[in-house]
Copies of this chain bind each other. A is one copy, B any other.
Amino acid sequence: MNDIDFMKEALILAKKAFELGEIPIGALIVRDEKIIGRGFNRRSIDASPFAHAEMLAMKDAAENMRSWRFDDCTLYVTLEPCVMCAGAAVQCRMKRIVFGTRDSKAGAVGSLYNIPADKRMYHNCLIKEGILKAECSEILREFFSQKRKNNI
């Protein structure tokens, strides 16, 4: 499986979030080409601002691995991580971050900041962006479009 295949899996998780009325963002942790952690945005369901797709995928992977060593892992996420999640990925010493589409208002992996690439940080992650960008944007656009319609 390659980056596109894994991003397709992250999109499936984003769709789960959509079906539950959550902003559709999905994330995976991959190690040795195997998915070891999954998460989707559950901010509303969990009523927690920490319940971002990436945080939940990292927790899930840590439980499955029984370790927080992510230095041979890749985080796949449909939307550019925010400051908290980018900081958490650095804390975990994540090897790579691959994301679909940018978040121009809150993204911290190229938009407002590029935290995991900042040489002053004690750890840097490799970064790849734009994988299935159109699909990752489209699901968000569709969600907010439906939401606006329902609010009329």
Contact partner of A87 (CB less than 8 A), chosen from B48, B62, B84, B92, is B84
Chain B residue nearest to A70 (CB atoms) is: B49
Q: Find out whether the CB atom of B122 lies under 8 angstroms from the CB atom of A106.
A: yes
The smallest C-beta distance from A117 to any residue of chain B, in angstroms, reads 13
A91, B62: Cα distance in complex, Å:
23
Contact partner of A105 (CB less than 8 A), chosen from B48, B82, B105, B122, is B122
Select the stretch in A22-30, A108-116, A128-136 that faces chain B.
A108-116
Contact partner of A50 (CB less than 8 A), chosen from B67, B82, B88, B120, is B88
Determine the chain B residues whose CB is within 8 A of the CB of A92 once the complex forms.
Answer: 49
A118 in contact (CB, < 8 A): yes
Chain B residue nearest to A46 (CB atoms) is: B68
| Copies of this subunit | 2
Chain B residue nearest to A93 (CB atoms) is: B49
What is the number of residues of chain A that contact chain B, defined by CB distance less than 8 Å? 30
A140 in contact (CB, < 8 A): no
Determine the chain B residues whose CB is within 8 A of the CB of A7 once the complex forms.
Answer: none
A55, B84: Cα distance in complex, Å:
11
A86 in contact (CB, < 8 A): yes
Chain B proximity mask over A51-71: 1 for CB below 8 Å, otherwise 0: 000010011001000011000
The smallest C-beta distance from A79 to any residue of chain B, in angstroms, reads 15
A20 in contact (CB, < 8 A): no
A124, B63: Cα distance in complex, Å:
33
A87, B87: Cα distance in complex, Å:
8
